[in-house]
Amino acid sequence: MGTADQVQLIAYADRLGGDLRGLARFLRRGEVAESFGGVHVLPFYTPFDGADAGFDPVDHTAVDPRLGTWDDVRDLSRTHDVMVDLIVNHVSADSAAFRDVVAHGDASPWAPMFLTMSSVFPDGAREEELARIYRPRPGLPFTALRLGDALRYVWTTFTPQQIDIDLSSELGQDYLTSILDTVAAAGVRQVRLDAVGYAVKTPGSTCFMTPETFAFIADFAARARERGVDVLVEVHSYYRRQIEIAREVDLVYDFALPPLVLHALYTGDGAALLDWLRERPRNAVTVLDTHDGIGVIDVGPDQTVEPGEPERPGLLDPAQIDALVEGIHERTGGASAAATGAAASNLDLYQVNSTFYDALGRDDARYLAARALQLFTPGIPQVYYVGLLAGENDVELLQRTGVGRDINRHHYTAEEIDAALETPVVRRMLALCRFRNTFPAFDGDVDATLDGTVLSMERRGVEVPDAVAVLEVDLASGAGTLTWSSGARGEASADLAAFAPDDLGGPVGH
């Protein structure tokens, strides 16, 4: 198996290793080294600690010098496939280009690069047109700002500090090309298009995942491939839309997996998860946790149904979704409720903020079962750094910043990292990742079945047809068993709760 198929780590450069060199040291240390073939480094651009934790870049082509240089990214790419974020929808309000627009208005040479309400609706917009615009947070996506001598409605999908780009303009296209050239030159082989679903604004539409958006993604992906770079599309949306998107792009996120795994392990009912395992796209990046919250919209009904159209149900019904959300709040002792929705800033309509470990009540057996289910699901598995270390909710950071997502964005000290790597649950998880990377059964599809509360997943090798790995999880108890065989080497098995590495040939139970 090549490194492109292996487990990837998702991490901030500063919150796990201090900077890019520290992150490389972490990935190369003995107990971690074979667990990850790749790493998604969250934004390290200038500034990495802005209004939205790096997703509001002032200069998207510059590494923040507090974190390192492009040479450090290039060094990391020597040993790991590197994925980085391309923030295609917006730039910081503090960027030099937008500051010039603030100072000079339409007289600024940079004015065509940024979207205002009038640049999308030159003849004005009817109430009905504005109401159709889909936004991940309450209210309309505009901020009143003075540009030169005129007061204008500037398009700000996310926050007033993040100014949306006109991707149809020559300046907007040149800007994106400059970023793509910069990351490709640094050895980056995958890019994640952040919030691309909102990037193209088409009057009279929802301005979310429209045909024009698909056309932009296809064009950008073609340009990326010319530079040897694959594209991962980040969109939280109705599950059937994800299936449609997957047909058009290199990679999509499987954002439905986390809530379905939680639902199955909360209730012992694996029917919805089994249905999804059989229908989901295979060119997917699988996650249980990321730097954002646990998605709900991804398993719910279609939120973009027009008036008069029939409803399109989700993978879970509304009662199941309500129970799921309340289940997270209950298991976190109310911490997730304090970090979600109107209880904290950075409002999202579709996410619950909590670490995945806390969402499972800090139950090691269920947590390992959840990770095993993720690793047996076809695609490229990504493990978030807090999840890797079985991190608990950082209520102190949440209280200090008032930003809901910060509950799952802990800043780890070297001592905390060392201590976490010694815990049994983290050692077991690293062993599972090493098994997923080295055992040759994971290049084929999955055969998933359900017998009562026991979900079974079988992976069989394509290049090595006699390599078979079978996972059985009792969703009611959280207990799991892993069995594997490879021709002359015979068969072995281990309980997930006692899973440990032996050698590169595979793990053994202790």
153 Cβ partners below 8 Å, 6+ apart?
Answer: 116, 117, 118, 142, 143, 144
**123 annotated to a ligand binding site:** no
**Strands of 446-451's sheet, edge to edge?**
446-451, 454-460, 467-474, 480-486, 491-495
393 Cβ partners below 8 Å, 6+ apart?
Answer: 332, 335, 336, 339, 354, 355, 358, 407, 408
**78 annotated to a ligand binding site:** no
**234 annotated to a ligand binding site:** yes
**348 annotated to a ligand binding site:** yes
**6 annotated to a ligand binding site:** no
**42 annotated to a ligand binding site:** no
64 Cβ partners below 8 Å, 6+ apart?
Answer: 44, 45, 46, 47, 48
Instruction: Say which of 234, 406, 472, 474 is annotated catalytic.
Output: 234
Instruction: Say which of 72, 85, 194, 406 is annotated catalytic.
Output: 194
**90 annotated to a ligand binding site:** yes
Contacts made by residues 392-401, CB under 8 angstroms, sequence distance 24+? 392/355, 392/357, 392/358, 392/362, 393/332, 393/335, 393/336, 393/339, 393/354, 393/355, 393/358, 395/335, 395/338, 398/335, 398/338, 398/339, 398/344
**447 annotated to a ligand binding site:** no
Q: How far is it, in rounded angstroms, from Cα 199 to Cα 202?
A: 10
**384 annotated to a ligand binding site:** no
The first and second tokens of residue 367, run together, are 């947590």
The first and second tokens of residue 469, run together, are 């790995």
**322 annotated to a ligand binding site:** no
**292 annotated to a ligand binding site:** yes
Closest residue by Cα to residue 255 from 287, 279, 282, 278:
287
The first and second tokens of residue 124, run together, are 């004005």
What is the SS3 assignment for 11? Answer: strand
**60 annotated to a ligand binding site:** no
What is the SS3 assignment for 458? Answer: strand
Catalytic status, residue 234: yes
**162 annotated to a ligand binding site:** no
Residues placed in the known binding site: 52, 90, 192-194, 234, 291-292, 348-351, 405
Catalytic residues: 194, 234
Residues placed in the known binding site for substrate: 52, 90, 192-194, 234, 291-292, 348-351, 405
